[in-house]
Amino acid sequence: MTVPGTAREFRDAIRAGRLTAVDACTRALERIGRTDPALHAFQTVSADRALARAAAIDRGRAGLDRLPLAGVPIAIKDNICINGVTTTAGSRILEHFVPPYDATVVGRLEQAGAVIVGKTVCDEFAMGSSTENSAFGPTKNPWDPDRIPGGSSGGSAAAVAARMTPVALGSDTGGSIRQPAALCGVVGLKPTWGRVSRYGLIAFASSLDQIGPFATTVEDAALVLQAIAGPDPCDATAAAHGVPDYVTALPNEPAKALRGRKIGIPRRLLESGVDADVRAAFDAAVSQLEDLGATLVDVDLPHSRHAIAVYYLIATAEASSNLARYDGVRYGLRAPLGPDDDLISMYERTRAAGFGAEVKRRIMLGTYVLSAGYYDAYYLKGQQVRTLIRRDFDRAFESVDVVAVPTSPTTAFRFGERTEDPLQMYLADVFTVSAPLAGLPAISVPCGFGAGRLPVGLQLTGRPFDETTILGIAHAYERTAGWWKEEPPDLKVGPT
């Protein structure tokens, strides 16, 4: 029999009795054992817990047809809480934090039959575009271990790209699912804000944070979204909006899906700052969509060129507030204290010892823009321009079904290339920050390779709660273009 590669294939093999959930789990754990020493995608591997879960699924054989992810191994970004499993969010301040509860998405995945094999490396509190801000060392890009995997969900992207697990969860605040997906050559979906409960996601910027899947195929991304989407009594921001059947809505024939579809291209936004190899792959992808029957339409998103500035004003302000909870009182680190320390100095020393440089920088920036005298000029102004960015999309969606841009203006960069200049690092998010600012769903799907055979991603942004359309177009493109079959070169790994 063929070895399953996708989540769908794993599930079908397990349902058909060709593979047990324990075998599937063991394979994933072995692959992690061989591959991960070279990549460091995993922060924690929870092998015993995973094997016990898998055995429970095998014992319940009769109910497998009701489990859409029966026995599918999955990895979870380390900023999503699992009861009893260390959850660090990539930070020293949470190095030994063991949550006493499950995130809603964790419970839903396990109810759907998925087997969580471990937690993946991320930038500290999901702040970063390269995983270089992880307090526990970065992840390497499976396509070139001298390069970053993207971030902040770089561990999840690399785990899926290196076929350690067929699917993974990440979180996306300004591009943290889509950018690493693009740079690692896999599919990454940021759902609409409100589509998926954030209960148990360690908060970074609450008006932007959203959980979503990584996968090697669009169908697998739809399968995982199906399992995690929907309202939640534990999260008032999880919308009551009905959850359609994303998987059966995927088109069987690519041309059928694209005929009559209008794809918006913000040409002015793409005029500068996109590397030539990325641009070439993007242009080839959109002309392939055109060949399939779609119409390309110029759209103008004039305020999106301010999106980075707006994003870093709003996200840091929210972060400075959310991260106030790390104070050495209820959980996490407390710095060693002397006899003269009082409560305030305990706060200050704990936060100094527990937070890394980028987190401190963002807390400082966010505190500043919220402080007296600067609130109107920066924070309020940022929120007003956010409205203008959103209105641009509303206007665009009057004439098009989706907006297409390259997910990242460059392919994966080298370690250390941007760490000295935070602003350079921020500019990596230039095409991904608009969708969360406008609350819109967006997907990155592999669209070929740039120089040095480094992956390039095509990003499609859709209307609120219309994941179905971006999944459908991405699926049609993927089935036609076939990039999903490409795997990273054999990694130099230890003996099997």
Partner 1 sequence: MSFTRADVERVAALARLALTDEEKDLFAHQLAHILQYADEVRGIDTSGVAPTAQALADAPQQRDDEPVPSLPRDRVIESAPEGAAGLFKVPRVLG
Q: What residue spans of 40-95 are helical by DSSP H?
A: 47-59
User: Tokens 């040095």 appear where?
Assistant: 452
- List C-alpha distances in Å: 226 to 117, 222, 352, 457: 20, 6, 41, 23
Stretch that binds partner 1, among 163-171, 178-186, 406-414, 418-426 (CB under 8 A): 418-426
What does residue 157 show for φ and ψ, rounded to 5 degrees? -65, -45
Out of 46, 134, 176, 197, which one is annotated catalytic? 176
Q: Can residue 34 be called a binding residue for partner 1 (CB under 8 A)?
A: no
**Of residues 90-109, which lie at the interface with partner 1 (CB under 8 A)?**
97-98, 100-101
Q: Can residue 312 be called a binding residue for partner 1 (CB under 8 A)?
A: yes
Q: Which residues contact 329 (CB under 8 A, 6 or more apart)?
A: none
Closest to partner 1 by CB, 16 vs 352, is 352
Give the shortest CB-198-to-partner 1 separation in angstroms.
12
Residue 218: count other Cβ atoms within 10 Å of its Cβ.
25
Q: Can residue 361 be called a binding residue for partner 1 (CB under 8 A)?
A: yes
Closest to partner 1 by CB, 232 vs 401, is 232
Q: Can residue 397 be called a binding residue for partner 1 (CB under 8 A)?
A: no
Selected binder of partner 1 within 17, 48, 65, 240 (CB under 8 A) = 240
Give the shortest CB-340-to-partner 1 separation in angstroms.
10
Q: Which residues contact 420 (CB under 8 A, 6 or more apart)?
A: none
Out of 46, 91, 130, 152, which one is annotated catalytic? 152
Contact 407, 444 (CB under 8 A): yes
Residue 77 bears catalytic tag: yes
Q: Can residue 242 be called a binding residue for partner 1 (CB under 8 A)?
A: no
**Of residues 327-356, which lie at the interface with partner 1 (CB under 8 A)?**
327-334, 337, 341-349, 351-352, 355
User: Tokens 């409960």 appear where?
Assistant: 197
Site string for partner 1, 48-87 (x = CB under 8 A): ----------------------------------------
Q: Can residue 317 be called a binding residue for partner 1 (CB under 8 A)?
A: no
Q: What residue spans of 355-488 are helical by DSSP H?
A: 357-370, 381-396, 422-426, 434-438, 467-481
**Of residues 201-230, which lie at the interface with partner 1 (CB under 8 A)?**
207
Retrieve residue 418's tokens: 């941007």
Give the shortest CB-480-to-partner 1 separation in angstroms.
32
Residue 176 bears catalytic tag: yes
Q: State the Cα–Cα distance between residues 159 and 54, nearest whole angstrom.
A: 19
Closest to partner 1 by CB, 64 vs 81, is 81
Q: Can residue 16 be called a binding residue for partner 1 (CB under 8 A)?
A: no
Out of 46, 77, 434, 444, which one is annotated catalytic? 77
Selected binder of partner 1 within 182, 440, 442, 460 (CB under 8 A) = 440
**Of residues 366-385, which lie at the interface with partner 1 (CB under 8 A)?**
367-368, 371, 377-378, 380-385
R_g of the chain computed on alpha carbons: 21
Q: What residue spans of 60-188 are helical by DSSP H?
A: 104-111, 154-161, 178-184
Closest to partner 1 by CB, 287 vs 371, is 371
Please name which of 116, 130, 31 lies closest in space to residue 80, comparing C-alpha atoms.
116
Kind of pairing, strands 262-265 and 295-298?
parallel
Residue 97: count other Cβ atoms within 10 Å of its Cβ.
16
Residues marked active site are found at 77, 152, 176
